[in-house]
């Protein structure tokens, strides 16, 4: 069972990327541009919020604070927010605005990634919650800012 959790904690985020790429391949040319623009904007917002969150709040990793033995190797730095969860959730939420069913599947996968990161003792629940919130905010901003830019360009 540990090997499944380790796989989910380390590598399952790739499935979110693959779901996004599948939607991108199925999209028309104009849709594809919007998908990419939204993800770039969301990614920039996510990085800014991730770095800001890490500066404003320090949460030692559970294997340091609670003396757990982690199931995967990790540096003993600030655990807040979970970058794996932030990354996965940002892509998943952005995808959900364009392709609802694929997006919800990606959100489920992102949540599994976060839970697995807790289970392998490299993050605490607050780290995962922070990553989820940042991903939701970033994905939403990416979508709506892209929508605004597309409408503005169409009005010209």
At 60, give phi and psi (nearest 5°).
-60, 145
Structure confidence by residue, pLDDT tens digits, 29-82: 989 999 999 999 999 999 999 999 999 999 989 888 877 777 888 887 898 999
Rounded Cα–Cα distance for residues 70 and 145 (Å): 39
**pLDDT score, position 76:** 79
Q: Distance (Å, rounded) from C-alpha 73 to C-alpha 115?
A: 17
Residue showing tokens 């003396």: 67
Mean pLDDT of 81-100: 98
Q: Residue 81 in 3-state DSSP?
A: coil
Distance, CA of 148 to chain centre: 23
Residue 28, pLDDT score: 94
Please name which of 126, 119, 137 lies closest in space to residue 48, comparing C-alpha atoms: 137
Tell me what the pLDDT averaged over the chain comes to: 94
Q: What is the pLDDT of residues 113-155, one digit of tens each?
A: 999 999 999 999 999 999 999 999 999 999 999 999 999 988 8
Rounded Cα distance between 33 and 2, Å, is 40
pTM beyond 0.75: the answer is: yes
């Amino acid at each position: 069972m540990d090997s499944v959790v380790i796989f989910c904690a380390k590598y399952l985020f790739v499935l979110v990327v693959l779901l996004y790429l599948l939607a991108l391949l199925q999209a028309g040319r104009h849709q594809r541009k919007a998908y990419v623009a939204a993800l770039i904007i969301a990614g920039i917002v996510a990085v800014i919020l991730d770095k800001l969150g890490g500066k404003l709040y320090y949460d030692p990793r559970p294997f340091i604070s609670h003396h757990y033995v982690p199931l995967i190797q990790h540096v003993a730095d600030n655990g807040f927010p979970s970058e794996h969860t932030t990354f996965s959730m940002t892509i998943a939420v952005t995808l959900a605005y364009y392709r609802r069913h694929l997006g919800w599947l990606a959100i489920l996968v992102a949540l599994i990634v976060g839970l697995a990161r807790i289970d392998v003792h490299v993050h605490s629940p607050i780290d995962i919650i922070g990553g989820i919130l940042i991903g939701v905010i970033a994905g939403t901003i990416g979508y709506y800012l892209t929508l605004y830019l597309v409408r503005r360009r169409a009005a010209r």
